[in-house]
Amino acid sequence: MKAAAVQLNSGADVEANIAAADLHVRAAAADGATLVVLPEKWTVMGSPDDLRAGAQRLDGSAVTWARETARELGVDLVAGSMAERLDGGDRLGNACVHVGPDGEIKAVYRKLHMFDVEIEGKPYRESDTDEPGEEIVVSELADGTKLGMSICYDVRFPELYRVLALRGSRVVAIPAAFTVPTTRDHWETMVRARAIENQVFVLAANQVGEHPGGHRSGGQSMIVDPWGRVLARLGDEPGYVVARLDFAEQDAIRRRVPLLEHRRPHIYSSSLPGEGRRTPTFNSFSSSLPGSGEGGTPTGGEG
């Protein structure tokens, strides 16, 4: 399988952003990619007012374009994440939509972790506009390969990616809009770490450049293999990267280093503080994983 990560410089003009995505998705498909991932907030980037003005429902022009384009090109298209208009009030969702080559929506994942931080003196309060999701999502590609879904700031929470791997994900998508400082200092390290510790392919598609509202994203979109090797990387311009995903090599890595089989979840869960608190702990993610021996059902941009 050949896969692509698309890097965009999205702004406040939704239709211009769709046109830019269309250009690069078509180029990636012409280059042989059958799985294409767009970045976070690809439909609209900017101030809270820009996000609210550009937000759409899942039957809007953005997802309509994704469905028509995936069907036309015969690709699995992970339509990054979009500002989703929710019912009631002015709260938004941050939704990642996976569309299959038949043009049907296969899965919708809503970002679990809100980017409420301070970076080099600049505060970010994603929770002021966005409603967090409550569900971990594994989708399925056209060939049956399991696809783990995540968005941006999620990459800082390794327990999520362990759940995705233990639920069968062989590929994980990380649409993102990482800031310039966090791209510089953290992006590659965390993307490669999530690949290594879960022995999965990671398709990390980042925004790049300046956006309305004073935002700046760092680019460096990449595709990483289960050994942590960077198979392809983009720099500081919009475009795409493509790489071949060798699942036979992934199987070989998992045989040689069977780390997922070496887990000892009964020790991890018994050692965690704060059980019963409202904030999820690792145990709340691991409680219904294959081989854990425990019951329950887990629920669950960075700029």
Q: Which residue from 212, 205, 183, 193 is spatially nearest to 12, judged by alpha carbons?
A: 212
Spacing of C-alpha 276 from chain mean position? 29
Catalytic hit among 106, 111, 126, 302: 111
The answer to whether residue 41 is catalytic is no
Radius of gyration of the chain from its Cα atoms, rounded to whole angstroms: 18
Known active-site residue 96: no
- State both tokens at 295: 């019951």
* Residue with tokens 């598609």, as numbered in its chain: 205
Which residue type, as a one-letter code, is found at position 19? Answer: A
Is 40 tagged catalytic?
Answer: yes
Cα distance between residue 33 and residue 184, in whole Å: 28
Structure tokens at 176: 């993102």
CA distances (Å), origin 60, targets 14, 68, 233 = 11, 12, 31
H or E element at residue 174: strand 171-176
- Let me know if 262 is exposed, middle or buried by CB neighbors in 10 A (0-12, 13-18, 19+): exposed
Kindly give, in sequence order, each residue whose CB lies less than 8 Å from that of residue 180, ignoring residues fewer than 6 positions away. 216, 217, 218
Q: Using alpha carbons, select from 75, 55, 62 the residue that is nearest to residue 18.
A: 62
Active-site hit among 40, 84, 126, 302: 40
State the catalytic residue, choosing from 84, 96, 152, 302: 152
**Catalytically active residues, by annotation:** 40, 111, 152
